[in-house]
Structure 1
Amino acid sequence: MTDLERKIYRIIYNMSRFRKNPTMDDLKRKTGKDEAAIRTAVNNLVSRKELTWDKDKKEWSFK
């Protein structure tokens, strides 16, 4: 896991503990990266099954 992936994972995890899904603007502000880099990192986390999106509950699940 790269530093950016780890940072995004922690942001999503910590925000979801309070039942709030981070927006793209939240992730941009907290990481200082652009949208393309964030999307790539999230897709990498999802492909490695570190993160999964539950469509019914509309929330993230963690490994």
Structure 2
Amino acid sequence: MTDLERKIYRIIYNMSRFRNNPTMENLKRKTGKDEASIRKAVKNLISRKELTWDKEKREWRFK
């Protein structure tokens, strides 16, 4: 897991604990990265099954 992926994972995890899914603007502000690199990192986390999105409950699931 790269530093950016680890950072995004922790941000999503910590915000999700309080039933608050981070927006793209939240992630851009907290990481200082652009939207394309954030999307790529999230896709990598999903492809490695570190993160999954529960469509019914509209929340992230963690490994």
**TM-score per shorter chain, which class?**
over 0.9
| TM-score under structure 2 length normalisation | 1.00
For 1:56 and 1:46, the matched residues in 2 are separated by 17
Query: Residue in 1 aligned with 2:29?
Result: 29
Structure 2: runs of 5 or more not aligned: none
Q: Report the residue type matching 2:38 in the other structure.
A: I
RMSD over equivalenced CA pairs, Å: 0.1
Give the Cα–Cα distance (whole angstroms) in 1 for the partners of residues 7 and 47 of structure 2.
17
SS in 1 for 2:33: coil
Taking only the aligned residue pairs, the percentage that are identical comes to 84
Does residue 58 of structure 1 match 2:58?
yes
CA deviations over 1:33-62 (Å, ceiling 9, x no partner): 000000000000000000000000000000
Q: Map 1:1-63; keep pairs closer than 5 Å.
A: 1-63=1-63
How far is the alpha carbon of 1:6 from its aligned partner?
Answer: 0.0
Count of residue correspondences: 63
In the TM superposition, structure 1's runs of 4+ consecutive aligned residues that sit over 3 Å from their partners are: none
Structure 1 unaligned blocks of 5 or more? none
CA distance in 1, matches of 2:47, 2:61: 13
